[in-house]
Structure 1
Amino acid sequence: MLVTGVVGWLAAFQLTVDDWRLLRDPTYQPPCNISPVVSCGSVMSSPQGSLFGFPNMLVGLGAFAAVAALGVAVLSGARLHRRLWLALAAGALAGVVFVHWLIVQSLYELNKICPYCVVVWVVTIALFWYLTLHCLERGIVPASRGVLAVLRDTHWMLLAAWYGVIALLVLTRFWPYWSSLL
């Protein structure tokens, strides 16, 4: 939780800084505008970049700060109440659903890949995955022993496959661009 919270917060912070700079100076070119495909400026200024009426990265700043703070608490020996674990898991589920909507929007509507957004995708998926496993292993969310054993034994392979599917989507969606670089 601490690692995903800190890394996610740093990515959201950098997006926030770049967004403020874009608001002050519309000609500003964020350092993440690397190519016609790998670019964050146009993603931030799109309607998808402010789904709730304000920049999405502000949600990330708050959510990732809370996750990091809870990670510090757990590492310090705090025992979180079951309801807090459930709230955290529900928030991670909402986050992973939102991230997958953003992935679809990025690939098929905006036709851009934002590098900082990809960092947020990666840490949100990892946070959701390992929070879910934690809640299942601790009995916070009930699961059969068989399911739990399979998940425990294959957790890293399943997560790698999840990331692999997303990487394949990115690769195939922008194949003409990637192949032109070779």
Structure 2
Amino acid sequence: MTTQAAPRPGSMGTRAAASRSRADHRGTWLAMLLWSVASLVASFVLAVEAVTLAGDPDAVFGCDVNAVISCGTVGSSWQASVLGFPNAFLGLVTEPVVITVAVAGLAGIRFPRWFMLTAQAVYTVGLALAYWLLHQALFEIGAVCPWCLLITVATTFVFFEMTRVNLLDGHLPLPSGVRRVLVDAARSHLDLMAVGGWLLAVALLVVSRYGTALFG
């Protein structure tokens, strides 16, 4: 006769917690994957345009709709190569990494805390760069690029999805009371509402900045 070993104390709770964590993250990883793919596509298009502009500064693109919506105007500015090379190349390098992380997350792989906090820090820098470029487009360049706006939106969603994972997994160094409130908000999907409200505010800013010129 064989007997089954009794489960170690706490082992069932640990497995239940891990199962709940995977369930919490499944939609998050999927959203991160889709938005990072969208950002990669936009980065590829902008990289091609940057190479084209390098050979022909007067090149016209399909997204050159008018004086305000103009990829060529934005792509010709110094802000489009703030690090000395086209910004789009950054997306070509970083987004495949995010895609890989998202796919691994969907497969159930759990990354160590140091890795996720590093990813959070790097993507925070990317988010800051995206919004700095948006500010430059609105108030310095005087034109917006649809592909750049897609990258800004995608970067915003990926940042918040990554933050959600780190919050629910307890990686973020937060006071316990603050963490409980934020976790409850995340599980109630209030974070998604916050992102939607933020992007709506950004859209209203763009419209208020240019008004009818967007459609002229």
Range into which the TM-score falls when normalised by the shorter chain: over 0.9
8 A contact 2:68–2:142 mirrored in 1: yes
Does structure 1 residue 110 correspond to structure 2 residue 145? no
Q: Distance in 2 between matches of 1:65 and 1:151?
A: 26
Match of 1:100 in 2: 131
Q: Distance in 2 between matches of 1:8 and 1:106?
A: 18
**AA paired with 2:180?**
R
Match of 1:34 in 2: 65
Match of 2:199 in 1: 163
Partner SS for 1:60 = helix
8 A contact 1:4–1:64 mirrored in 2: no
Q: Distance in 1 between matches of 2:191 and 2:58?
A: 45
Partner SS for 1:34 = coil
Could you give the per-residue CA deviations for residues 78-117 of structure 1, whole angstroms, max 9, x where no partner exists?
2212111111111111111111111110100011110000
- How much does 1:151 deviate? 3.9
CA RMSD of aligned residues (A): 1.4
8 A contact 1:38–1:113 mirrored in 2: yes
Partner SS for 1:174 = helix
Q: Distance in 1 between matches of 2:117 and 2:57?
A: 42
Does structure 1 residue 72 correspond to structure 2 residue 103? yes
Partner SS for 2:170 = coil
Q: Which of 136, 156, 167 does residue 125 from structure 1 map onto?
A: 156
Match of 2:20 in 1: none
Match of 1:136 in 2: 167
**AA paired with 1:105?**
Q
Partner SS for 1:37 = coil
Does structure 1 residue 56 correspond to structure 2 residue 87? yes
Q: Percent identity?
A: 33
8 A contact 1:5–1:66 mirrored in 2: no
Count of residue pairs brought into register by the alignment = 180
Q: Distance in 2 between matches of 1:121 and 1:165?
A: 13
Does structure 1 residue 173 correspond to structure 2 residue 204? no
Gaps of 5+ in 2: 1-31
Gaps of 5+ in 1: none
**AA paired with 2:203?**
A
- How much does 1:25 deviate? 2.1
Give the structure with higher Rg (CA): 2
Q: Distance in 2 between matches of 1:95 and 1:145?
A: 27
Task: Report the TM-score, using the length of structure 2 for normalisation.
Answer: 0.79
Match of 1:146 in 2: 181
Does structure 1 residue 14 correspond to structure 2 residue 49? no
Task: Report the TM-score, using the length of structure 1 for normalisation.
Answer: 0.93
